[in-house]
Amino acid sequence: MTGLRSYVDSDENSKIIHGDCLQALHLVDDASVDLVFADPPYNIGKQFGDFKDSWETDAAYASWCESWLALCIRKLKRSGSLFVMSSTQAIPYLDIWLRSRIEVRSRIVWHYDSSGVQAKSRFGSMYEPILHCVKDPQESVFNADDIKVEARTGAVRKLIDYRKDVPEPYSTTKVPGNVWYFPRVRYRMPEYENHPTQKPEALLERIIRTSTNAGDLVLDPFGGSFTTCAVAKRLGRRSIGIEAQEEYVKIGLRRLGIATHLDGKELVAPAKNTERRNANGVKSFLIKDPDAQGALFRA
Ligand SMILES: C[S@@+](CC[C@H](N)C(=O)[O-])C[C@H]1O[C@@H](n2cnc3c(N)ncnc32)[C@H](O)[C@@H]1O
């Protein structure tokens, strides 16, 4: 295997492989992984380091995705789960290919707040699709109790379920539906890293809690800023993250506490300016809003 470099933390629970996932996935044992979270380039022309996220045709992009998806499925245990993201226009190709190889259990919409730029000639893009797949529906892990959210009925008084033999109040919590609202990662948030498509920790937390238990192994073939591995570590899971660009591998090494230096250079978090002045020169500082899932607001 050429051009691959691996790094592990001292307790060997978090591993990073620097290289192309089509090569690096061969270093992962077959049937060893509990959860794969794959957030590949979407074929929408983004720049990731020296890599331009653009394929000649939709078919060429789908065919590339199929090669790493086939490997990911092979790495999953029988009880394992696969969450795959892509663009709204590309996900149907992946859905059709996947459903003859693995069970697509849920089609999730990650809905978020609008960016500053507003669409003028079409409906603005406010979501990204996620496919939730399981290898064997009888054996797969789904930790319903670990991900419950408040069940809002809209009623002022407690609603009673009279269909039960002994009527009882409706449950106040429920498993979330398939439309998930999480704010996108913004510059001012503490979790922000210098990566163009960083996913929110809250999104990964729900996915990891749903499909794994403590000590399980999580695999992310497109590590990016290594959100998946960072959340896996915080939740006591093991992880393997793969990333082709060295500048993002450096983020992962620091974020996972694997290294403080690489090739003699210190790995530092993005320096952020948390002070702003308004047009009159009055200072405002950013403080954490406890109700805004990690978002910051001005005081
Ligand atoms: C959509 S981003 C992942 C973002 C990540 N989920 C996060 O929260 O930061 C896709 C990543 O895949 C990387 N990548 C692109 N092609 C790759 C390949 N063939 N093998 C491994 N990584 C690749 C890109 O450099 C980019 O960082």
Q: What is the CATH number of the domain that holds 46?
A: 3.40.50.150
For 293, phi and psi rounded to 5 degrees? 45, 55
- State the angle between helix axes of 246-255 and 227-234 in degrees (0 to 180), rounded to the nearest 10: 10
The pLDDT value given to residue 2: 66
Using the atom order of ligand 1, give the atom closest to the CA of residue 21: 20
Residue 287 CB partners (closer than 8 Å, separation 6+):
296, 297, 299
Ligand 1 lined by 239 (C-beta under 6 Å): no
39 CB within 6 A, ligand 1: yes
Q: Is residue 278 included in any domain, yes or no?
A: no
Per-residue pLDDT of 114-128, as tens digits, reads 766 788 899 988 999
Q: How many domains does the chain have?
A: 1
Predicted confidence at residue 232, as pLDDT, reads 98
CB proximity list for 91: less than 8 A, separation 6 or greater: 85, 129, 131
Q: Does residue 156 fall inside a structural domain?
A: yes
* 280 within some domain: no
Q: Which residues contact 3 (CB under 8 A, 6 or more apart)?
A: 19, 20, 23
In a domain, 140, yes or no: yes
Q: What pLDDT was estimated at residue 279?
A: 60
- What pLDDT sits at residue 270? 84
Per the domain annotation, does 298 fall within a domain?
Answer: no
Query: Is residue 273 included in any domain, yes or no?
Result: no
Residue of 72, 243, 248 to test ligand 1 pocket, by largest number of atoms within 8 Å of CB: 243
Residue 52's domain spans which residues? 5-265
The sign of the CA dihedral 130, 104, 229, 293 is positive
Rounded-to-integer distance, Cα 191 and Cα 211, Å: 23
Pocket test for ligand 1, best of 28, 48, 186, 218 (most atoms within 8 A of CB): 48
In which residue ranges of the chain is pLDDT below 70?
A: 1-2, 115-116, 274-299
Answer yes or no: is the C-beta of 205 below 6 A from any ligand 1 atom: no
Would you state the pLDDT for residue 297?
35
* CA of residue 65 to ligand 1 center, whole Å: 13
